[in-house]
Structure formats: structure tokens, C-alpha cells
Amino acid sequence: MLIRALDRFFRHEAAGGILLMASAVAAMVVANSGLSEGYNSALSSVFSITLNGEGLSKPLILWINDGLMAVFFFLIGMELKREILEGKLKNPRNVILPGMAAVGGMAVPALIYLAFNYGDPETIKGWAIPAATDIAFALGVLALLGKKAPPALKVFLLTLAILDDLGAILIIAFFYTAELKVDYLLLALIPLAGLAWQNYRGAHRIAPSLLLGTILWVLVLKSGVHATLAGVVTAFFIPMTDKYGKSPLHALENALTPYVLYLIVPIFAFANAGVDLSNIAFADLLGAVPLGISGGLVLGKLVGVFGMTFILVKLGVARLPEATNWVHILGLSLLAGIGFTMSLFIGGLSFDSPEVMNLVRLGVLTGSVIAAITGYAILYMAAPKPVAV
């Protein structure tokens, strides 16, 4: 009975988003209970892989954020490649509206954050935190509406979120790279060449590509470029079609998705969403960092996504998705403000201070919850009412 119920749960489109929220709630409960000392101690415990004193030695939280999240970005990279070659991003005309909406949905939240933090050279580094959208969470909330939401709305949100993630990847590459060590980058060209060769020859076996991708990850990590980008690069060299006409990329994406959605992302949420409320007063919610983040996620995404969509449609450049109206776009714009995973991740790249990161978590959680509830409520009210017989 229990196994059947679990099977039904994990088959539901909203399962990933629900599990993500449950992990965040669990993290907050633990961080504010008698278990908090053990929680923080476990995350700061150092795990090392060395040979003759050379290798990697990092706290557990960084193994999660640099290692497990590289797998998350690896999946995003495969999804991007598939969409570009044969999916929603193949036809440029299908990209114009969600693409420009994604641009607006990244630019306006960043500007709102900057407006609150322009006078502080330390906190201004977090300008990109509210620019991101959490695909799993946003689609999970939309899935809770079932047939009440037009199918084209899901396609629009998915395309917008994918392009949003692409923008986040570029932001990480250009703005969150530490001091470069060129020798490691040059060494990284060796596994990169191997990946290119595997892709060129349409290799059927993907184990060599995964091994090369792991070596690439280590070298990129050592170079100072953020290691998660190695996951994206590796993904783009997984063959779409092998010499037998099969698709290694499709097979690997399908096999990896459940592990990312139901294991890696919840672990990341549990490790990063633990807001310590003991020293936080209500006034802290109105501080520059949490208000800039929550304001960017809610108001910024609303203005950026809805505003850009409105302008393009009124100019005749694009049309609204099929069977949708402006109320649907309003609700979707708010759902795009669910930053969560990506926002927490960029927050961790922006700040080292535990005190500032606590404020980041507060802003991300507050903004994401408000965006989820208001977006869901608007889309629910927009659904056609059943006709009484």
C-alpha cells in the first residue's frame, strides 16, 4: 500500500517541487532546534580526497554545492542541448517571446536588488541572486493546477525557465569566477578534446565521456572557474545520436532526472536553506539584502516578465501562447519569481559571511513563498469555472 502511494506521488509532476519545499522546511526546523549544532558541524566537516598530499579537501557544504550541483548543471546542459537541437529552442520564432521575457525577468530583479544595496560595496555583490528561476519548483506549483492551466502555459514557463538558467550559467561564468590559474585551464583542454572526439564519432558508450567530464570538473575547480560549469560543458558533448542511431543523451537524461529531482536538489535545499531565526527580528526582513532579494523575486519578476511580454505582444512581435490571457501571464510571471535553488546557489557564490548568508536565505525563502502562493492563486482564479447544468 505504502509502495503504491509512493509510486503515485513520484509519478506526479509536482513531486519534485513538493520534495524541494519539504527539504527546505526540514532544514529550517533542524537549524532552529537542538540539532542545529550537529547540522552546522556536519556541513562544515572536511572531506578530503588526496594522493601524496595533492588533491581536494573541502567542507561537506562545498562538496554539495560544487560537486552535486555540477551534476544538476550537467542535467540542465543536456536539457538545453536537446531543446536547441530538436525541441522548443530549435525554431527561433518560438524563442522570441519567452526569451525576451527571461531577459526582462533577469534584468529588473537585479536592478531592484541594486536599488536597495547600491551604497554597500559588500552586499552589492549579490545582485544576481533574484535573477534566477527554479525550474522544478515553478513547474511543480503549476502542475498542482492540473488541467486548470492551459498546456501552452507550461511550455512557455518551461522555455522561459530554461533560458533563465542559461542566463544564470553565463552570469556564473563571467561574474563569479575566482582568480584564474591558467595552467589548470590549459590542462582542462585535454579532457575537453576527448569529449569533443567522443561526440564527433557518435560514441555509443557514455562511461568514457563521464570519466573525462569528472577529470574536467577537477581541473576547472582547480583553475578558479566555478566547477559547476564543467557539468554544462560535459553535457554539450554527450552525443545526441550514436553510430547505431540511438540517443545516449536521451537515455542519460531520462536516467539521471529522478536522481537530480528527488535526491540531489533536496539535499542541496536541506544543506542551504537552514535559516537560523534565533537572532533575526522582524525588522531584518526590511533590511537591504532580504528586501532586495524578495522584492526582486516578486515585484522584479512580475514587472520584467509581464512587462516584456506585454510590450512584445502589443508591438505585434509575438502572440500570447495558445488559450492563454493576460491573467495567465500575470500568474506565470509570479511563478517565475520562485528562485529558490538557483538563488541560494548564487547567494553562496556571492557571500562567505554566515550572517549575510542567513539574510540571503531569509530573502530567498520569503520571496519564493510569496511568489508561489500569489502565482498559484491568480492562475487558480483564472481557470474557467464549470458550467452548472
Q: What amino acid occupies position 107?
A: A
Task: Give the H or E element holding residue 145.
Answer: none
Q: Chunk the chain into consecutive blocks of 10 residues (it has 389) and report each block's average pLDDT, rounded to whole numbers.
A: 67 74 88 89 86 77 86 87 83 85 95 94 92 82 82 86 82 78 90 95 93 93 82 92 92 92 88 79 82 96 96 92 91 93 87 88 92 93 63
Measured between alpha carbons, how far is 176 from 225 in angstroms, rounded to an integer?
8
pLDDT value for 387: 46
For 21, residues 6+ apart whose C-beta sits below 8 A from its C-beta are 137
For 223, residues 6+ apart whose C-beta sits below 8 A from its C-beta are 180, 181, 182, 184, 185, 188
- How is residue 56 annotated by DSSP? E
Which burial class, exposed, middle or buried, applies to 177 when counting CB atoms under 10 A from its CB (0-12, 13-18, 19+)? middle
200 has which bridge partners? none
Alpha-carbon dihedral 218, 221, 227, 233, rounded to 10 degrees? -60
> Cell numbers of 36, please?
542545529
CATH placement of domain 11-382? 1.20.1530.10
Measured between alpha carbons, how far is 244 from 232 in angstroms, rounded to an integer?
25
pLDDT value for 289: 94
pTM of this structure: 0.81
Measured between alpha carbons, how far is 189 from 165 in angstroms, rounded to an integer?
25
> Cell numbers of 301, please?
519578476
**Angle ∠(368,257,82) on CA atoms, nearest 5:** 95
Measured between alpha carbons, how far is 114 from 118 in angstroms, rounded to an integer?
5
Measured between alpha carbons, how far is 341 from 297 in angstroms, rounded to an integer?
13
For 277, residues 6+ apart whose C-beta sits below 8 A from its C-beta are 28, 31, 32
> Cell numbers of 44, please?
562544515
SS3 46: strand
Nearest to 343 by CA among 20, 8, 4: 20
Helices within the chain (DSSP H only): 2-11, 15-31, 36-44, 60-62, 69-86, 92-117, 135-143, 151-175, 182-200, 207-223, 228-236, 248-259, 265-272, 288-295, 301, 307-314, 326-335, 340-350, 354-382
Measured between alpha carbons, how far is 131 from 110 in angstroms, rounded to an integer?
6
pLDDT value for 185: 87
* Domains of the chain by residue range: 11-382
Is residue 130 within 8 A of residue 351, CB to CB? The reply is: no
